Amino acid sequence: MKFIVYNVRDDEIPFIEKWGKDHKIEVKYTTTTLTQETVQEAAGFDGVSCLQTIPYSKELFDAFNKMGIKYLSLRNVGVDNVDLAAAKGNGVQITNVPAYSPESIAEFAVTMALYLSRRVGYMKQQLDQNHQFHFSPNFMGRLISDQTVGIIGTGRIGREAIKLFKGLGANVIAYDKYPQKSTNGQFVYVKDLADIYTKSDIISIHMPATDDNYHQFNHEVFEQMKDTALLINTARGSIVDTNDLMYALQSGEIAGAGIDTIEAETADLQDSRSTKQVSDPDVLKFSMMPNVLITPHSAFHTSESVRNMIDISLSNLMTMVNGEKPKDLVN
């Protein structure tokens, strides 16, 4: 039994090596992005582990079939970039890691909300541009405890975010197509998304990307939101229309945004060794706006998350190769 791990970052290597040693299984790792052109590196291996936001295409799974590879274990939650029909058609079983560290992403969402609520971007802009600090009306922030936070998606990550926002004293409301049976008194479900849009001072997105929520946050929604509202997206870029968000921020339809994920993320984003300068015009525009905090899809990135992603992904591969059904099977 031997596995290959694609798109490996430097911080993952110690955990990969430890897992292989502990389980006495050969594990090769590569920084290469997994595509139909690079899949040949997996020749002779029993299973593949991968982490990327670019597509896993039909052509890739066709190549898996020709090479006799039947197992792909993702090191992340989302599968919206996976051609699941093509995987099934080629007999490829896929697992994910549905809960590598909900706390990590929830904490980051709250961090973004605090940064924006306390207008840190405006302070930083003054220092960067004028090389001086002095009190300014632009610096006056708001307490989280004075705000209503709307959580969209009350799965593992959403519930952790609720706990943290509630701990800071926020009034929390939430929406989910499939609500939890109990809220433990921490929040109140609303029946309509419009209530989230119109009543929230901060909206934090914690739902997977689906065809139904593509560009869910668009011009019409931004018009419904308070002009003092903040939007936090640590979920998936496709949920927010980038052009409409840019207009909403520039025109004052909303007050600010925390953007950890954006549409059309490239493979370079997952390459921890890349020295390329950012060239995406939208990313550059957002980065220069004091009412925006944009980060490189790193909300998950803590030592606990990385360890869990590796351990669970490789253990899922071992389970499948042993002919057993893993609990994290996607298809």
Q: Of 75, 119, 156, 236, which is the active-site residue?
A: 236
Q: Which residues are CB-contacts of 287 (< 8 A; sequence separation ≥ 6)?
A: 278, 294
Residue with tokens 């909303």: 254
Alpha helices for the chain (secondary structure H): 13-23, 58-67, 84-89, 102-117, 120-130, 156-167, 193-199, 219-224, 242-251, 281-287, 303-321
Burial class from Cβ neighbours inside 10 Å (0-12, 13-18, 19+) for residue 130 reads exposed
Amino acid at 321: V
Amino acid at 168: L
Assess whether 236 carries a catalytic annotation: yes
Q: Which residues are CB-contacts of 39 (< 8 A; sequence separation ≥ 6)?
A: 60, 63, 64, 67, 69
Assess whether 134 carries a catalytic annotation: no
Element (H, E) at 95: strand 93-95
Assess whether 37 carries a catalytic annotation: no
**Torsion (CA) 179, 157, 8, 80 in degrees, nearest 10:** 30
Q: Of 159, 160, 265, 307, which is the active-site residue?
A: 265
Q: Which residues are catalytic?
A: 236, 265, 297
